[in-house]
Structure 1
Amino acid sequence: MTLTHSPRMYSVHRRAAATAVVISLFAPLTTAVSADAQDDAINTKISRIVLGIGSDATEANLAWQSRRSGTQFLEYWPAGEPADVTRVESPAGPYNAAVFYPHEAKMTGLQPETEYVYRVGDERRGWSGQRSFTTGADADSWNFLAMADAQIGVDAKIKEQAAAWDKAVNVATGEHPDSAFIMHLGDQAEGWGAPVAQLEAFTAPEQLQKYRLAVLKGNHETYAPDSHFRDTYFLPNEVGSTANYFFNYNNVLFIGLDGNRASAADIDTHAKFVNDTIAEHGADADWVIVGIHQAPFSQGTHYTDPDVTALRDSLTPKLSEAGVDLVLSGHDHIYTRTHLMNGFTPVIPEGASKSGDILIPEDGEVLYVTSTTATGGKYYDFQDKNGEKHPNIREERARDLAHDSTARWRQDYNPDYTSIDVSPTELKLTTYNINTPYVVDQVTLRKKDDEKPQETSTEQTSTQTPTEESSAAAPTQGETATTAETATEPAPETEKSKPVTITTTQTSEKLVTTTKTLVGKATVTETVTQTSPSTKVVEKTKTVPTTVKETVVQTETVKVPTTITKNAEPQVVTATETSEKVLTETTTSTGKATVTETSTQTSPSTKVVEKTKTVPTTVTATVVKTTTVAVPTTVTKGAEPAATPSSTSAAEKPHGVDTEGSASGSSTSGSSTGGIILTVLAILVGLLASIFAVLVRVNPQWVEDIRNQFNI
């Protein structure tokens, strides 16, 4: 059957398109705000409300976007005391590329351990919904969370990555509800494509309304107009619009640097900013933590980038000289922890580094930690010191391939977050998988003055003291750990207290510990060693009751039945029309998989028991085909049909090109005089609408004056 377009139908389509353009341009002017003058009206023109970190623990910064010009307000009050309202005026910022008026305001005088309610807007247009957050304790021992590279919008998968980001925030705050704030280490959004939608997704999680947020400027923030980053986040103590800023929180001085600025002059500017900030605001700080998106040290592919190389060679010595303790970064989508670094020179301890290390730095020694992605939009494979990539390789099999600076790394293709516990004498960093109950790594920085004497040892003092067993590493995707490997790193204590249950395609490791206790008496020798100014050894011998525990660690590797979904690349068949149908074909095959349970007993003798059983497994293959259905057109007798490349999709056609080609031209040639006149009128209306749109763009205040005059 053949469908045809008559000349009259073609003219109608043109008129309808022109009318739709005009309506879309005028629609914002004709939309009235309900409950215009009511205090409890919800202003739907307000979006991207961000509760940001303030200059110190007593402050919080608010940033939001409004589609209305004019002054708006921030109101906040202690929960339960609605009469005690503080009102802060916020004039609208300049009209930006995203068609928003940005606003900023600051909360001050916040009391510790107090819940506050806040909202933004105004009486005439309405207010945002009420939100609340609770301030932390005014103490020198506290906690905060660090994540990196949510990068919402990778491969245009905004909804999928928005859901993953929401889960990451919920898991991290759910397991550490008393955290003071969240620090995101750059690349909040992809930048390409749809930056407004990406930023709205990043700022959307409900938990971000309850925890103050500190961000860094990543390289993907530079792929969209700078106004998107500048208007979305209110950075405390920022130097101009450089994205270099600082804040004090209790006993820590935080300094954020824009790693996108990596020229020699930029690095000198960064170094001066760090030195000046520490000199002027670090007197009461026990620790100095620097955040910079581009990681100077990592096992990712950015390690050899020119900007990263410049930061490593020129900036890291200046950070050591300034007295920085810890540097947090992202960018490389692979977890990496360095040895203590004096500039770019590693201080390598005796013995292998492992989870639970305690590091006691000398003056000028800095720890660098690089986080992987918090959403899993993309990962970078391990890249060795020779520049070669190794997909799916485990750390245990690549110890000789890592950079000299690297103490630990992990690429398990799983999103992570880090919880950082602060005290006057220690910084303890514990990095967790978001989707599995595993600790990726744990390391503690301890002040040298608080170094504890090592018991029963008179030979040496190491700057790296293991105190906990290595974490049970989650197997790399596509690889199952052997019994010999897992037996060397038992760590039941590193599993999280609240495991997250999900379905994955990985093989999980289950650690089982059996403890035998014998009570009796033992002779204990206490040895005290004094190495300066002279060596003094004092030995004391006494008999005390003692409990002897024998621990047997059993490791079971289990492949869990799972449903695997394979999504094929969309197949696009393009004809000469624009309508599309999406066909989904699902093929399900049911079979059986073999599960091997291995039980290993390491004491008093090695005992291996293997059990093999067959379990059902289901594999579902989903193939999505997108077919563009062609609607044939009437072709003038004798005319050659228009040739349409079959490999060109609708998304690839240049904007404004007539997709019907010569066939539509033939239809137009046969149109009536009345149709031509209507088409010309439609074009004129479209031109007038375009002129109006330009005027609105040039002078948006004119539109607002019209709205105010006619109350629309």
Structure 2
Amino acid sequence: MNMNSKKSFSVLLCCILAASAFTGVTAADNDGWTQADQTEAAQNGAWDAWVQEWDTEKTDWENISLTPGKDETELNFAWYSKADAGVPQFKFYEKEAGETADSLISVAQTAAVPDYNSNKVTVTGLESGKTYCYSYTKDGAWTEVREITPKDSSSGYSFMFFGDPQIGSSDENIPEGGTEEQGQDNAVRNDSFNWNNTINSALELKPDIAFMVSAGDQIQSRDSHTADETHETYTDNEIEYAGYLSPKALETMPVATTIGNHDALSSNYTYHFNNPNSSELGSTYAGGDYYFTYGNTLFIMLNTNNTNAAEHKQLIEQACEENTDAKWRIVTLHQDIYGSGEHSNEPEIVELRYSLTPILEENDIDVVLTGHDHTYSRSYIMKNAEISKYDWDMNSISDDEYEAFADGVIEDENGDEIEFVPTEEQQAKYDNYLAMIEDKDYVNSADSEIVENPDGILYLTANSASGSKYYDLVEHPQAYIAARWQEDVPTFSTIDVTDDELTINTYRTDTMEQIDKTFTIRKTDEPVTEYTVTNASFKNGAGETLDAIPESGSFIAELSVKKTGEGNGNDYIAVAAYDESGALVGLNYCYADVPADTDCTFGIKLDVPENGTIASVKAYVWDDFGTMTPLAFDAEL
């Protein structure tokens, strides 16, 4: 065992400091919405032009939506038509070949909201690189011809990920003395302008995007009293769907939408979108789970407003069994089961987490995309999180109790809001609940820019894509959070996928700067070197085991390390000491060629600092400096 050079020690120090610090991005503690006419995008007459267009846009319920097909050779369309207009026509053809008698495609029509029908078409046999044309009749006249060129995914592809456009949610736009309808009109106009800007900004930045994925809540309005008799006829959100579908780019860009809690209570969603492999499993009035493939990836879209985990399990297993050759498996659901916004600690969201994560892990899901909290966050790789029924029953709190702490108010006996001042017992119960759901012991990666062959799942939560509403980040970043952000600006992510890598970049729309570092999951066919600490103890110079760290002098951290995989022969074993504030106060290490599948014991000496005490000690073991991963040895003394 040889001590390394001062140069190696300085590199090690930087690595340990990086691993021990919270490196996630934090941001402002404010809350609100983005006022469209005050944005940079609204300048030079853009907002005034939009206001002029809006009276026409808001009454056009017949905008078309495109959705990915079952695979990249198919494409789905859906749109409204007036009930008295009969069945519209739809034509689709390859541009180079031109329009022929076979260009007309059969349209499937069903009744939608009063005075409207829903029309759906699926086209098949698409080839990448070829340009196709489509048009349909609207009020008896053919629309302008749109062109679509499917992307080649053989060497990789890119898609855009966004969350919660929730068009119409900026209802603070209600003018003083105005009606509710005027407020909704202004809010939808505002949010739709910002939504258009987000879509256009993403495509300007990355014009090769193949399709988009939404984490749900396309619109705002929902009828909380919806019943079997009314869910098919609810129309208060149709102006919002008109705004959501208003971007010109969406006439040629497929979007795989997820059903959010604001979408779930009416059938309008099913009328506006034509989802592939649509299932009754996980159903609400808006529809159920569905899935599709694109290139080397299986996408599974869950309607988790239906909390029946057994149904979601059935759909996930079916999709995976039918697509065993998929290199990547991505699940999208609305609720942020590993987020960091105001909703993320809610008992009903946490219960959903623990019911779904075992199913996701059993089916080797790589990434879970979520929304709901209108804040951005990225988790560490997570694995095996669970809470026993006993612990949950003993330490969980009710939704009402959580809301009292989250909102800081409760209702008195007269129904008036008053400040909530918790008792010591209530505060202790709340603190115990938050500690229980931290999932600190189930973090299975360091905060690296590249994670290689991870054992577990990445959870990514999208901020609002339209700025219609923002929530605050929770005050305390959960242990599972690697990065988070909220500065009340719309954001979107681009995700690049190849056979070997999945890379995520996330941008704010006002400056187009990244809000988080580039993050990559890398899969290799080479064996990965992994380490475990099988035993750890503290001893004095005479080899006697210590019950506590001495207040002065030195001690030896003795740990047994087991390596799986061959590695490169340069195995680094380090021990770092921290004071109560988390500052690094001691560090030493050694390196050796640890034999595979053999317990090797190392004794590493640490000096107690003269000014201060050691509160905790951590062991770090890795194969060369490139793959440092802190292990489970984290003794709090």
Range into which the TM-score falls when normalised by the shorter chain: 0.5 to 0.7
Q: How many residues align?
A: 400
Q: Which has the higher strand share?
A: 1
Shift of 1:73: 2.7
Match of 1:358 in 2: 451
Shift of 1:358: 2.7
Matched, 1:432 2:502: no
SS of residue paired to 1:358? strand
Closer/same/farther in 2, CA of residues 100 and 427 from structure 1, 3 Å limit: same
Matched, 1:205 2:220: no
Match of 1:459 in 2: 572
Match of 2:79 in 1: 64
For residues 39-61 of structure 1, the C-alpha deviation after alignment (integer angstroms, 9 at most, x for no partner) is xxxxx988121111111000100
Match of 2:467 in 1: 376
- CA contact under 8 A between 2:383 and 2:444: conserved in structure 1? no
In the TM superposition, 1:138-157 aligns within 5 A as 138-154=153-169, 155=171, 156=184, 157=187
Match of 2:56 in 1: none
In structure 2, runs of 5+ residues without a counterpart are 1-58, 172-183, 223-234, 386-438, 530-566, 575-590, 601-637
Closer/same/farther in 2, CA of residues 450 and 219 from structure 1, 3 Å limit: farther
For residues 307-343 of structure 1, the C-alpha deviation after alignment (integer angstroms, 9 at most, x for no partner) is 3122111111111111111000010011111111114
Match of 1:228 in 2: 268
Distance 1:131 1:444 in 2: 35
Instruction: Choose from 45, 57, 67 the match for 1:52.
Output: 67
Shift of 1:446: 1.6
Match of 1:330 in 2: 371
Shift of 1:452: 8.0
Distance 2:480 2:88 in 1: 51
Distance 1:402 1:165 in 2: 29
Shift of 1:69: 4.7
Matched, 1:367 2:458: yes
Distance 1:529 1:246 in 2: 47
Match of 1:626 in 2: none
Shift of 1:88: 1.4
Closer/same/farther in 2, CA of residues 200 and 221 from structure 1, 3 Å limit: same
In the TM superposition, 1:106-505 aligns within 5 A as 106-121=122-137, 125-154=140-169, 155=171, 156=184, 157-192=187-222, 194-223=236-265, 226-240=266-280, 242-262=287-307, 266-281=308-323, 283-344=324-385, 345=439, 347-348=442-443, 353=447, 356-362=449-455, 365-384=456-475, 401-441=476-516, 442-447=518-523, 449-450=525-526, 458-459=571-572
Closer/same/farther in 2, CA of residues 93 and 528 from structure 1, 3 Å limit: farther
Distance 1:86 1:298 in 2: 47
- CA contact under 8 A between 2:381 and 2:445: conserved in structure 1? no
- CA contact under 8 A between 1:70 and 1:92: conserved in structure 2? no
SS of residue paired to 1:407? strand
Question: What letter corresponds to residue 93 of structure 1 in structure 2?
Answer: T
Instruction: Choose from 90, 101, 110 the match for 2:117.
Output: 101
SS of residue paired to 2:525? helix
Closer/same/farther in 2, CA of residues 130 and 405 from structure 1, 3 Å limit: same
Shift of 1:437: 3.2
Closer/same/farther in 2, CA of residues 379 and 359 from structure 1, 3 Å limit: farther
SS of residue paired to 1:372? coil
Matched, 1:87 2:104: yes
Question: What letter corresponds to residue 196 of structure 1 in structure 2?
Answer: E
SS of residue paired to 2:64? strand
Question: What letter corresponds to residue 237 of structure 1 in structure 2?
Answer: N
SS of residue paired to 1:312? helix
Distance 2:314 2:445 in 1: 35
For residues 584-642 of structure 1, the C-alpha deviation after alignment (integer angstroms, 9 at most, x for no partner) is xxxxxxxxxxxxxxxxxxxxxxxxxxxxxxxxxxxxxxxxxxxxxxxxxxxxxxxxxxx
Question: What letter corresponds to residue 200 of structure 1 in structure 2?
Answer: A
Which stretch has the larger CA shift, 50-59 or 452-461?
Answer: 452-461
In the TM superposition, 1:19-58 aligns within 5 A as 47-58=62-73
Shift of 1:99: 2.4
In the TM superposition, 1:497-576 aligns within 5 A as 532=596
Question: What letter corresponds to residue 189 of structure 2 in structure 1?
Answer: K
Question: What letter corresponds to residue 451 of structure 2 in structure 1?
Answer: I
In structure 1, runs of 5+ residues without a counterpart are 1-43, 385-400, 462-526, 537-712
Distance 2:463 2:61 in 1: 32
Which stretch has the larger CA shift, 295-304 or 227-236?
Answer: 295-304
- CA contact under 8 A between 1:373 and 1:416: conserved in structure 2? yes
- CA contact under 8 A between 1:426 and 1:445: conserved in structure 2? yes
Question: How high is the TM-score relative to the length of structure 2?
Answer: 0.59
Shift of 1:288: 0.4
Distance 2:77 2:272 in 1: 9
SS of residue paired to 1:221? coil
Match of 2:434 in 1: none
- CA contact under 8 A between 1:98 and 1:196: conserved in structure 2? no
Identity of aligned residues (%): 28
Shift of 1:444: 1.1
Question: What letter corresponds to residue 263 of structure 2 in structure 1?
Answer: E
Shift of 1:174: 1.1
Shift of 1:137: 0.2
For residues 255-281 of structure 1, the C-alpha deviation after alignment (integer angstroms, 9 at most, x for no partner) is 00001011xxx1111012111210122
SS of residue paired to 1:248? strand
Distance 1:50 1:177 in 2: 19
Question: How high is the TM-score relative to the length of structure 1?
Answer: 0.53
For residues 274-306 of structure 1, the C-alpha deviation after alignment (integer angstroms, 9 at most, x for no partner) is 11210122x110010000011111111112334
SS of residue paired to 1:92? strand
Shift of 1:440: 1.5
Question: What letter corresponds to residue 310 of structure 2 in structure 1?
Answer: D
Shift of 1:191: 2.0
Closer/same/farther in 2, CA of residues 528 and 234 from structure 1, 3 Å limit: farther
Closer/same/farther in 2, CA of residues 460 and 331 from structure 1, 3 Å limit: farther
Distance 1:375 1:429 in 2: 20
Distance 1:132 1:160 in 2: 29
Question: What letter corresponds to residue 260 of structure 1 in structure 2?
Answer: N
RCO higher in structure (CA 8 A, sep ≥6): 2
